[in-house]
Amino acid sequence: MVYTVQNGDYPILDNTLGQELPDDITVIKQPITEPYTLYKKWTGKGQKDKIDANFLSQGKKMGWKDKFAVWVRGNFFIPDARCLWIRPSVRFLKDYLKKNPVDAIISSGPPHSCHLIAYGLKASTGLPWVIDYRDPWTQIDFFNDLGLTSIARKRHVSLEKKVLNACDCIITVGKTMALDLLSLTDKRTEVITNGFDETDRSTVLGSIDRQFTLTYIGTMNDARNPEVLWKALHQLKKNNHNMVRDIRVNLIGKPEQVVIDSVKAYNLEDKVHFGGYVSHKEAIGYQNSAHVLLLIINRTTNNKSILTGKIFEYIASGRPILCIGPRDGDASEIIYTSGAGTVLDYDDTDGLIKFLEVRYDSFLTGKIESSGAVGIEKYSRRFLTGRLAAVLDGITGRGPDKN
């Protein structure tokens, strides 16, 4: 059974993904009160504008109203802007579970308010509880940008430790995040990464783009702006390299203004295609037809632990991956271990030019190269769900825990 919001405000929403849900899943929805409407009125934004959950406008100069809103968000909406949903949800679910018993609870966050809902249910029902940590809480990269007072900071830390110590098991998406949690709790922690759907895999190499394409899929903000790529392409263009005639960079998703400004600053408007937001199915099509898939790891203090879900879809596509990020992070380890691509540092312009030249030579010969990734079955959602089922069997006593 899935418990979620009835009228939530999301930065991005893909309604087509709901079509993948089996008919026998019970979905329970309850109203939520969120501060986004007030925030939009306060800052002069339109009601249809989409707002990030942390209120931070990355890549843009923030006015005093935006800064004040971020301060209010960090100090009064703890742990996040969904905190007003905690108490009503606990009351509703305590009553609901009396009539509709379950074997275990899984809370997935962010938003970390979901963990506090599960904490309330654990305290009243004693049900086994798994925390699914998709992103860090107090260790996330923007935590120090929220303008927290010492009281609010202590409150965040206290709440995080409380939920971590009360659960039966913690699941994280990467080993670095799991290691980071050791400083907060001694609870059992398991690493179950994101994964890919087998039905998304591409086996038809004849559908590759006719142009020499580098494709990035997802949100691109200030921390993911690939400055090194713009520098490399600008240099190739300045040198009249033949590659410039054929190359095209597809940015599929939502780019921050700082990215658009960078493309203009390097005079690359004719080489970069801003595809905008598309459905997941369309994104898979762009991914499977690219010559190179571009993966950018946030240039932040915790970048070694960042392991986006798209990396596994990239690997499953069979297309070569170019990752720009730390060479000793979780993402780079998976890319190197599977043989799915190349990892370059944020400032390695020469290395990036050499990489592009090698791939362009293959393009000119008409040779369509697969990444040659190996051992990727362990990242399929079917396999990963089996690992999650083993954890649930273990904590509920329904079977041996083989995880």
**pLDDT tens sequence across 97-150:** 999 999 999 999 999 999 999 999 999 999 999 999 999 999 888 888 888 999
DSSP three-state, residue 316 = helix
Q: How far apart are CA 390 and CA 315, in angstroms?
A: 25
Report H helices in 108-149: 113-125
Report, as an integer, the average pLDDT of 164-193.
95
Q: Within 13 Å, how many C-alpha atoms sit on residue 266's CB side? A: 22
401 in any annotated domain:
no
The model carries a pTM of 0.86
pLDDT band with cut points at 50, 70 and 90 for residue 189: very high
315 in any annotated domain:
yes
Residues 143 and 216 in one domain: no
**Please, are residues 331 and 214 in contact by the beta-carbon 8 Å criterion?**
no
58 in any annotated domain:
yes
Residues 226 and 332 in one domain: yes
DSSP class per residue in 239-262:
TT-THHHHEEEEEES-B-HHHHHH
Write the pLDDT tens digit of every residue in 11-47: 777 888 888 888 899 999 999 887 766 656 665 666 5
Torsions phi, psi of 277, nearest 5? -75, 135
Residues 207 and 84 in one domain: no
Please tell me the predicted confidence (pLDDT) of residue 58: 47
Residues 137 and 72 in one domain: yes
Please tell me the predicted confidence (pLDDT) of residue 40: 62
Residues 191 and 215 in one domain: no
Residues 319 and 255 in one domain: yes
147 in any annotated domain:
yes
Residues 260 and 150 in one domain: no
Total count of domains within the chain: 2
Residues 178 and 228 in one domain: no
278 in any annotated domain:
yes
402 in any annotated domain:
no
What percent of the chain is predicted at pLDDT more than 90?
A: 67
Residues 370 and 221 in one domain: yes
Is pLDDT above 60 for 55? Answer: no
Range of the domain at 175: 2-195+381-396
pLDDT band with cut points at 50, 70 and 90 for residue 400: low
390 in any annotated domain:
yes
Write the pLDDT tens digit of every residue in 238-275: 999 999 999 999 999 988 889 999 999 999 999 999 99
pLDDT band with cut points at 50, 70 and 90 for residue 293: very high
* CATH at residue 268: 3.40.50.2000
* CATH at residue 78: 3.40.50
Residue 173 structure tokens: 């998406």
Q: How far apart are CA 332 and CA 222, in angstroms?
A: 21
* Separation of first and last alpha carbons in the chain: 23
Residues 348 and 222 in one domain: yes
54 in any annotated domain:
yes
Q: How far apart are CA 64 and CA 209, in angstroms?
A: 46
Residues 207 and 288 in one domain: yes
Write the pLDDT tens digit of every residue in 76-94: 889 998 999 999 999 999 9
| Sheet containing strand 321-324, strands side by side | 272-276, 247-252, 212-217, 292-296, 321-324, 341-344
Residues 283 and 357 in one domain: yes
Greater pLDDT, 365 or 354: 354
